[in-house]
């Protein structure tokens, strides 16, 4: 039985149809194929062109038909990468050629994934598209490490933020305000600026002993978890040789890991 037929059996209803000339922006989740949604699997099964970036796990790319054209358009901080304009141009060109296009992104396309920018470009070009949400690394990656995003009695909010914005840039965050908020922070793309962020949060009033977890390559065979404190995390990360992709969780929920570590 092919994958779509299996899905339809599971769902008890027809799988969504990816039409010729349409683009689906699909979230691939943090890595483990088991964290794909059924719609994401349906999209992959119908892909004629697969446009993906570096964060998508090879086990997931393997779910598309062998004959599907694979266009690797990586984007990764600090390395030569495809320009966003080239990526959207490729999506539009493939759709206009009448292909069934899957734009596969790590995590959720609309969470720090530039999916919104690509969707806007498709809308402006008149290309029909839809978004298939995925599990975002900042939540699913924490769960994999035994850390709940919220816990009654511990926090009433959780802030998903990017650590990437350059100091002084328009989109730079007010770290002191986030420190004052007193709610856990979950940072994406924060590894290169971790030291500056920790310093800013400490200056903003967060306690030196605030627990911090760094979860790298969550849900993949290479997953690593480091637990430290705000004062010590930069040195600990350096000593452990941990690098992107990683999410950084800062706040009381991190302490629950001791009791909730996955078996
Ligand atoms: N759209 C993605 C985020 C893209 S930004 C999502 O929703 O998850 C890229 C950042 O995501 C990385 O720098 C890292 O902070 C995080 N990330 C993505 N996959 C990850 C993984 N498997 N483990 C840890 N962090 C991950």
Atom number of ligand 1 nearest to Cα 164: 13
Angle value at C-alpha 221, between 26 and 54, nearest 5 degrees: 40
Whether the pLDDT of residue 260 is over 90: the answer is no
Report the pLDDT value the prediction gives residue 55, as an integer from 0 to 100. 79
pLDDT band at 3 (very low <50, low <70, confident <90, very high): confident
For 7-27, the three-class secondary structure string (H helix, E strand, C coil) is: HHHHHCCCCCCCCCCCEEEEE
Judged against a pLDDT cut of 60, whether residue 94 lies above it is answered with yes
233/227 Cα distance (integer angstroms)? 8
84 token code pair: 């966003």
- Top mutation candidate among 31, 54, 165, 247 for ligand 1, by most atoms within 8 Å of CB: 247
Q: Whose CA is nearest to atom 5 of ligand 1?
A: 112
Reported as a pLDDT band with limits 50, 70 and 90, residue 17 is very high
Place of tokens 């009791």: 259
> Ligand 1: distance of its center to the CA of 143 in Å?
14
Q: What is the mean pLDDT of the chain?
A: 93
| Ligand 1, atom 25, residue with closest C-alpha | 246
The catalytic position among 39, 53, 57, 108 is 53
Please report the pLDDT score of residue 138 as a whole number.
Answer: 98
Q: How confident is the model at residue 56 (pLDDT cuts 50, 70, 90)?
A: confident
Q: How far is the C-alpha of 260 from the C-alpha of 263, rounded, in Å? A: 9
Rounded distance, CA 232 to CA 226, Å? 11
pLDDT at 75 > cutoff 80: no
Catalytic one among 39, 57, 105, 189?
189
Question: Distance between CA atoms of 76 and 88, rounded to whole angstroms?
Answer: 16
pLDDT of the residue at 83 = 85
Which tens digits make up the pLDDT trace of 166-222?
A: 556 666 899 999 999 999 999 999 999 999 999 999 999 999 999 999 999 999 999
Share above pLDDT 90 across residues of the chain, in percent, rounded to a whole number: 84
pTM of the model: 0.94
Looking at the predicted structure, is the pLDDT value of residue 156 above 70? yes
Residue 130 clears pLDDT 70, i.e. is over it: yes
Q: Is 107 in the pocket of ligand 1 (CB under 6 A)?
A: yes
Per-residue pLDDT at 93? 97
What domains sit in the chain, N to C, each tagged with a CATH number? 3-135 (3.40.1010.10), 138-258 (3.30.950.10)
* pLDDT reading at 74 higher than 80: no
* pLDDT in the model for residue 79: 55
Please confirm whether the linkage preceding 79 is cis (ω < 30° from 0): no
Q: How far apart, in whole angstroms, are the C-alpha atoms of residue 19 and residue 98?
A: 9
What integer pLDDT is reported at residue 203 of this predicted model?
A: 97
Over residues 34-48, mean pLDDT: 97
State if residue 218 touches ligand 1 by the CB under 6 angstroms criterion.
Answer: yes
């Amino acid at each position: 039985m092919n994958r779509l037929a299996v899905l339809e059996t599971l769902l008890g209803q027809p799988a969504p149809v990816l039409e010729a000339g349409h683009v689906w922006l699909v979230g691939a989740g943090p890595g483990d194929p088991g964290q794909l949604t059924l719609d994401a699997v349906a999209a992959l099964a119908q892909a004629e062109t697969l446009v993906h970036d570096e964060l998508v796990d090879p086990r997931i790319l393997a779910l598309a038909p062998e004959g599907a054209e694979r266009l690797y358009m990586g984007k990764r901080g600090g390395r030569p990468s495809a320009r966003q304009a080239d990526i959207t141009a490729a999506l539009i060109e493939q759709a206009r050629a009448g292909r069934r296009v899957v734009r596969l992104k790590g995590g959720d396309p609309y969470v720090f994934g530039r999916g919104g920018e690509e969707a806007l470009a498709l809308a402006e070009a008149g290309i029909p598209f839809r978004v298939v949400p995925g599990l975002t690394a900042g939540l699913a990656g924490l769960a994999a490490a035994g850390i709940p995003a919220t816990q009654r009695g511990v926090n009433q909010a959780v802030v998903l933020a990017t650590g990437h914005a350059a100091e002084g840039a328009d989109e730079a965050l007010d770290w002191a305000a986030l420190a004052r908020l007193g709610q856990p922070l979950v940072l994406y793309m924060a590894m290169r600026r971790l030291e500056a962020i920790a310093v800013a949060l400490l200056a903003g009033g967060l306690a030196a002993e605030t627990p911090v977890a760094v979860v790298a390559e969550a849900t993949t065979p290479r997953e690593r978890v480091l637990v430290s404190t705000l004062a010590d995390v930069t040195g600990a990360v350096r000593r452990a040789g941990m690098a992107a992709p990683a999410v950084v969780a800062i706040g009381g929920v991190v302490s629950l890991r001791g009791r909730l570590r996955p078996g």
